[in-house]
């Protein structure tokens, strides 16, 4: 696997390194040892799938606060998404900054999202599936969110929002 730092410290873009033969290819998408060598959280407590029928669907911006803060490894297994993270760590030089990248089934890229980041995505195609490896079990009492359109962050989404849950719509603007 190839690990590339992104502009927000602690987050990484991860690419598989396929070995090809007449059948196609084989590649690792997870290695506890490789994550550990880089000081990354290698605990996987839960895996989840998000299936979205309509292009333009927006999910976010979600996070879990302490004591159940979570690290996520996000991959688009069908279709395409614009994946976004926001650094909510007050001591970070990138506090309240965002980063977005296109993850697709075709490019097989993954985004490592550390604790202290809000995460969300917008679907770029119909029938999009997103696969998550998550370091902590979901805990409703620790589940939080901030607005997807909070002017403090200034996230530029690629499409008009076609579907947004009532929960995501009700999140407050972030107060630093």
Catalytic site positions = 62, 132
* Torsion, CA 1, CA 124, CA 159, CA 85, rounded to 10: -30
CA distance 160 to 131: 23
Kindly state the greatest CA–CA separation across the chain. Answer: 55
- Provide the 8-state DSSP code for 142: G
Q: Are 54 and 126 in contact (CB under 8 A)?
A: yes
Q: Which helix (H) or strand (E) holds 36?
A: helix 32-37
- Report residue 164 CA to chain centroid gap: 17
CA distance 45 to 3: 22
- Provide the 8-state DSSP code for 166: H
- Provide the 8-state DSSP code for 125: S
């Amino acid at each position: 696997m190839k690990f590339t730092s992104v502009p927000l410290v602690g987050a990484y873009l991860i690419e598989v390194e396929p070995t090809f033969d007449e059948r196609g290819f084989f590649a690792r998408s997870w290695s506890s040892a490789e994550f550990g060598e880089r000081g990354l959280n290698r605990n996987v407590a839960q895996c989840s799938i998000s299936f979205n029928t309509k292009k333009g669907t927006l999910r976010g911006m979600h996070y879990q606060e302490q004591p159940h803060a979570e690290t996520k490894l996000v991959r688009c297994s069908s279709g395409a998404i614009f994946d976004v993270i926001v650094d909510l760590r007050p001591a970070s030089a990138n506090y309240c900054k965002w980063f977005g990248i296109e993850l697709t089934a075709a490019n097989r890229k993954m985004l490592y999202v550390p604790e202290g980041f809000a995460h969300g995505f917008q679907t770029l195609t119909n029938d999009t599936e997103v696969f998550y490896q998550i370091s902590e079990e979901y805990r409703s009492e620790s589940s939080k969110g901030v607005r997807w359109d909070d002017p403090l962050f200034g996230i530029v989404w690629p499409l008009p929002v076609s579907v947004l849950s009532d929960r995501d719509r009700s999140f407050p603007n972030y107060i630093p």
